[in-house]
Amino acid sequence: MKYISAILLVFVVIFSSGCKQQETPVTEPTIFEDYFIRYLSQEKQLKAQAVFGIGDMVTTATAFVPVGGAAFMSSGMEMRKISDDLVRYTQEMNTEYQKSFRFRYKNTLGQANNYEISMTPVQDFFIQSEVSKSNGLDLVINGGLLAEGETLVFIFSDQNSVAASFDINGPTKDISYHLPPEAIKNLTPGAGKLYIVKKTNKNESLDHREIHAEIEFYTNDLDIEIVE
């Protein structure tokens, strides 16, 4: 009798182990994170946005609303439901440009996920030649050295409010730049303005996280004189 009981006990243990092995493990879904920061230096205005999606692919992801919302620089962000598939978190403030920017939210397991992004701003810039439709122009930009994924966008306007733009993509090795005549070929000679937008664009894959992040930094306007 004891022998039969022992056999039954072994059978129960083996059966229980088999059931446990057949259990489907709980998998954590992927969270798609989209961050955007815009800084206007003339107004000292900072705007931050965050959007979260959840699913297997970004094209089929649905809106993810973290428990407790989202935070930017340790302050809560305002939530706005744009549609059933889009919930946007925003924060605006007047402040100095920061060395780095931090976002935070909780994932589906209640664990804190953090993301930090940084970009050296344009401190100032100087034109070292005529702004010539024939020869272009030369500039020096403090903070203009570009890393991979960074861009400088030069935005011109003339006295007739006609605009023109020219892009330079990183990486670059110097803070001195020459813009060709094509950059301003459609502008009328005379008074005009120039400002620069420095941008960074990053994509990262972390554990159950797909992240896209951008920063745009807008300089002050600079008065220019456009010549032939």
Pairing of strands 101-106, 62-63: unpaired
Q: What is residue 132's three-state secondary structure?
A: strand
Distance (Å, whole) CA 214 – CA 118: 9
Q: Which pLDDT score, from 0 to 100, does residue 26 have?
A: 55
Task: Answer with the one of 85, 117, 149 that is the final residue of a domain.
Answer: 117
Establish if 68 belongs to a structural domain.
Answer: yes
CATH number reported for the structural domain that contains residue 146 in this entry: 2.60.40.10
Establish if 147 belongs to a structural domain.
Answer: yes
Shared-domain flag, residues 137 and 222: yes
Establish if 51 belongs to a structural domain.
Answer: yes
Establish if 205 belongs to a structural domain.
Answer: no
Establish if 207 belongs to a structural domain.
Answer: no
Distance (Å, whole) CA 216 – CA 119: 9
Establish if 135 belongs to a structural domain.
Answer: yes
Q: Which pLDDT score, from 0 to 100, does residue 14 have?
A: 45
Distance (Å, whole) CA 126 – CA 130: 11
Distance (Å, whole) CA 103 – CA 91: 11
Q: Which pLDDT score, from 0 to 100, does residue 84 have?
A: 85
Domain that includes residue 158, residue range: 124-198+218-227
Shared-domain flag, residues 135 and 222: yes
Give, for all 228 residues of the chain, the pLDDT tens digit.
444 444 444 444 444 555 445 555 556 789 999 999 999 999 999 999 999 999 988 888 899 999 999 999 999 999 999 998 899 999 999 999 999 999 999 999 999 999 999 999 999 999 999 999 999 999 999 999 999 999 999 999 999 999 999 999 999 999 999 999 999 999 999 999 999 999 999 999 998 999 999 999 999 999 999 999
Task: Answer with the one of 117, 132, 164 that is the final residue of a domain.
Answer: 117
* Cis amide leading into 180 (omega within 30): no
Shared-domain flag, residues 63 and 158: no
Instruction: Output the CA torsion sign for 165, 171, 173, 174.
Output: positive
Q: Which pLDDT score, from 0 to 100, does residue 85 have?
A: 86
Shared-domain flag, residues 82 and 158: no
CA atoms within 13 A of residue 32's CA, in its CB half-sphere: 15
Q: Which pLDDT score, from 0 to 100, does residue 12 have?
A: 44
Q: Which pLDDT score, from 0 to 100, does residue 59 have?
A: 84
Write out the two tokens for 60: 């089929």
Establish if 9 belongs to a structural domain.
Answer: no
Instruction: Output the CA torsion sign for 75, 197, 152, 178.
Output: negative
Shared-domain flag, residues 150 and 172: yes
Q: How many domains does the chain have?
A: 2
Selection from 45, 56, 69 nearest residue 217 by Cα: 45
Task: For 34-62, give the DSSP string.
Answer: EEEEEEETTTTEEEEEEEEEEESSTTT-E
Establish if 16 belongs to a structural domain.
Answer: no
pTM: 0.85
